[in-house]
């Protein structure tokens, strides 16, 4: 249809102007065109919503009307300086600035500026995007991330405390029993009573002191039960993906999230579950680093009893020799961190009545970690 | 009263110390490093005591306890564990052993039940 093409490419002034106006008014972003003296020539529909002024009210006015005081004061100077020196500070660069609504509210926008030479002189076009929403999300995410980091520290301490308590318990038990056995043996043996028994008693006391320290440490660690509340799994997973990609843009890794339908609510500690999933996704993203295909798939599904969340990657999988110690504390091969990530994730899952398991070679070639959490987990039974 | 005490404990230090002390108290002891070794041995008889660590390599301690109970003998069964409460709860799987002692063990705690 060459005819219609020719038609649509027609550059008669009226067609092109109508088209431009329609484009401007359809645009989601605010668009303002100003002349060399910063007077507003054009102000599109989106601007009306953004700033609260109607087009007729601002046309011909200085563009400063849309800026907070601090910017407005400098703006004329900026424009003058550019026209005099030709040094670009914003044109073609774009940046985050503050805008001002008619009612005085200041809000963040992303501003990009272009310029055009027209028969009527030099004109500047500003495109403005309201980023309040994005800012809110960023703030919420960075708060969530800070919370995750601090939770991770607390959990690492808990886990270490529990691991130390358990590891020390064994030799301490042996020491106490040995000492008590010697004491029994020496009782009644003439000449041994006095000093020897006295020293053994002291030894037993010290071992008991150590064991009390361990018990106190254990009680402290054991006090922390998950703080459960209803959790919407799809939302939680989307947040996890946002969290790991925050400020990284995914590093070239293709992240996909697939959530089954009618996912029931989970009664769980959302921060802890998020910590597990974020940890799994981060591990997966590390695993595909340097691989040709960099893909991480997150899937969630459920049956009558449990919700499962699987994180698979296209990396090399988990080597056989690492499998046995994968979930043990202090066994990690990564130089950063404490090697506690998976150990903690597993114990957090188990604290929720669930579990964390690995398939060393999953469907996408790499490892698949599956977190399984019971749907109706009653709060832990009292001791 | 002196009895035969079977000790199923994988930590050699704990197993040996426990055995030594109980011998001092006049009991006869046999130490097994895991559930499998215990099963290979002649089963306990009426009046024996069995001390089982809940966390064993291979077959878990709770399964040993279940098996012992199924024998319908007059046995005293003592479960011991150095694990945190949450892990113990998991290992018990809803069951409660007659006697559960947490490590570190003390002579008085043990003798109370012997």
ipTM of this complex: 0.86
Decide if A3 is inside a domain: no
Residue A7 has pLDDT above 60, yes or no: no
Q: In degrees rounded to 5, what are phi and psi of residue A296?
A: -130, 120
Kindly report the CA angle at A203 between A197 and A204, in degrees rounded to 5?
A: 90
The Cα A93–Cα A146 span in angstroms is 31
**pLDDT tens-digit series, residues B68-90:** 999 999 999 999 998 777 778 87
Question: Comparing A159 with A171, which gets the higher pLDDT?
Answer: A171
Enumerate the residues of chain A whose CB falls inside 8 A of the CB of residue B23: 181
Question: Comparing A145 with A232, which gets the higher pLDDT?
Answer: A232
What region, left, alpha or beta, does residue B61 occupy, with left being phi > 0 and alpha being psi -120 to 50 degrees?
alpha
| CB burial of residue A120 (10 Å; 0-12, 13-18, 19+) | exposed
| CB of A98 closer than 8 Å to CB of A111 | no
A120 and A233, same domain (yes or no): no
Q: Which domains does chain B have, with CATH numbers?
A: 4-111 (3.40.50.2300)
How many residues belong to chain A?
383
Decide if A272 is inside a domain: yes
The boundaries of the domain holding residue A86 are 14-135
The DSSP line for A330-371 is: T----SSS-S-HHHHHHHHHHHTT-EEEEESS-TTSS-EEEE
Decide if A162 is inside a domain: no
Q: Which of A116, A135, A154 is the last residue of a domain?
A: A135
Question: Comparing A182 with A47, which gets the higher pLDDT?
Answer: A47
Q: Taking the alpha carbons of B58, B64, B70, B73 in that order, is the dihedral positive or negative?
A: positive
Name which of A151-165, A221-235, B38-52 the model is least confident about: A151-165
* Nearest-CB residue to B17 (from A181, A211, A383): A181
Give the pLDDT confidence score for residue A55 in this predicted structure: 92
The Cα B19–Cα A133 span in angstroms is 69
Residue A334 has pLDDT above 60, yes or no: no
Decide if A53 is inside a domain: yes
Question: Nearest CA to CA, how far is B19 from chain A (Å)?
Answer: 9
* Nearest-CB residue to B21 (from A181, A214, A350): A181
Kindly report the CA angle at A190 between A184 and A194, in degrees rounded to 5?
A: 70
* Nearest-CB residue to B86 (from A178, A185, A351): A351
Name which of A1-5, A271-275, B94-98 the model is least confident about: A1-5
A128 and A239, same domain (yes or no): no
Whichever domain contains A324, its CATH number is 3.30.565.10
Domain count, chain A: 2
The Cα B39–Cα B43 span in angstroms is 7
- Taking any CB pair shorter than 8 Å as contact, residues of chain B touching chain A are 11, 13-14, 16-18, 20-21, 23-25, 82-87, 89-90, 103-107
Q: Which of A82, A104, A135 is the last residue of a domain?
A: A135
Coil, helix or strand at residue A97: strand
Coil, helix or strand at residue A115: strand
- What six digits make up the tokens of A160? 């270490």
- pTM to 2 decimal places: 0.53
- Helix (H) or strand (E) holding A296, with range, is strand A295-302
CB contact under 8 A, B90 and A166: no
Q: Which of A135, A158, A193 is the last residue of a domain?
A: A135
Give the pLDDT confidence score for residue A380 in this predicted structure: 42
| CB of A279 closer than 8 Å to CB of A341 | yes
Enumerate the residues of chain B whose CB falls inside 8 A of the CB of residue A327: none
A102 and A233, same domain (yes or no): no
A126 and A235, same domain (yes or no): no
Whichever domain contains A125, its CATH number is 3.30.450.20
């Amino acid at each position: 249809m060459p005819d219609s093409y020719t038609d649509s490419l027609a550059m008669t002034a009226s067609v092109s102007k109508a088209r431009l106006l329609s484009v401007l008014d359809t645009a989601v972003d605010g668009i303002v065109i100003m002349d060399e003296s910063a007077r507003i020539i054009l102000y599109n529909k989106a601007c009306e919503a953004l700033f609260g002024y109607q087009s007729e009210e601002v046309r011909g006015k200085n563009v400063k009307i849309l800026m907070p005081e601090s910017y407005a004061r400098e703006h004329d100077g900026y424009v003058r300086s550019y026209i005099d020196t030709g040094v670009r500070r914003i044109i073609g660069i774009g940046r985050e600035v503050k805008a001002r609504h008619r009612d005085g509210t200041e809000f963040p926008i992303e501003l990009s500026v272009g310029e055009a030479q027209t028969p009527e002189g030099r004109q500047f076009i500003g495109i403005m995007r309201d980023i309040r929403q994005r800012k809110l999300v960023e703030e919420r995410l960075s708060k969530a991330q800070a919370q995750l980091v601090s939770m991770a520290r607390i959990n690492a301490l808990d886990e270490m405390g529990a691991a130390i308590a358990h590891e020390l318990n064994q030799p301490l038990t042996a020491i106490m029993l040995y000492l008590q056995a010697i004491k029994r043996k020496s009782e009644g043996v003439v000449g041994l009573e006095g000093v020897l028994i006295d020293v053994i008693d002291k030894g037993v006391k010290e071992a008991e002191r150590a064991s009390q320290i361990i018990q106190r440490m254990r009680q402290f660690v054991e006090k922390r039960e998950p703080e459960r509340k209803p959790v919407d799994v799809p939302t939680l997973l989307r947040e996890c993906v946002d969290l790991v990609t925050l400020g990284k843009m995914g590093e070239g890794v293709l992240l996909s999230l697939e959530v089954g339908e009618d996912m029931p609510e989970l009664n769980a500690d959302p921060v802890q579950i998020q910590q597990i999933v974020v940890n799994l996704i981060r591990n997966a993203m590390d695993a595909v680093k340097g691989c040709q295909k960099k893909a991480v798939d997150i899937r969630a599904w459920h049956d009558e009893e449990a919700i499962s969340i699987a994180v698979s990657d296209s990396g090399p999988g988990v080597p056989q020799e690492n499998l046995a110690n994968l979930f043990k504390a202090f066994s990690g091969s990564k130089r950063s961190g404490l090697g506690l990530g998976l150990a903690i994730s597993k114990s957090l899952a188990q604290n929720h009545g669930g579990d964390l398991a690995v398939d060393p070679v999953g469907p996408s070639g790499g490892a698949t970690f599956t977190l399984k959490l019971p749907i109706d987990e009653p709060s832990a039974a009292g001791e | 009263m002196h009895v035969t005490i079977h000790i199923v404990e994988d930590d050699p230090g704990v197993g040996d110390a426990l055995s030594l002390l109980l011998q001092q108290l006049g009991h006869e002891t046999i130490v097994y490093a895991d559930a499998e070794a215990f099963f290979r041995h002649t089963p306990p008889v009426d009046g024996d005591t069995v001390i089982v660590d809940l966390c064993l390599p291979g077959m878990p301690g709770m399964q040993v306890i279940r098996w012992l109970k199924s024998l319908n003998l007059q046995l005293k069964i003592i479960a011991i564990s150095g694990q945190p409460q949450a892990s113990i709860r998991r290992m018990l799987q809803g069951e409660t052993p007659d006697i559960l002692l947490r490590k570190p063990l003390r002579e008085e705690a043990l003798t109370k039940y012997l």
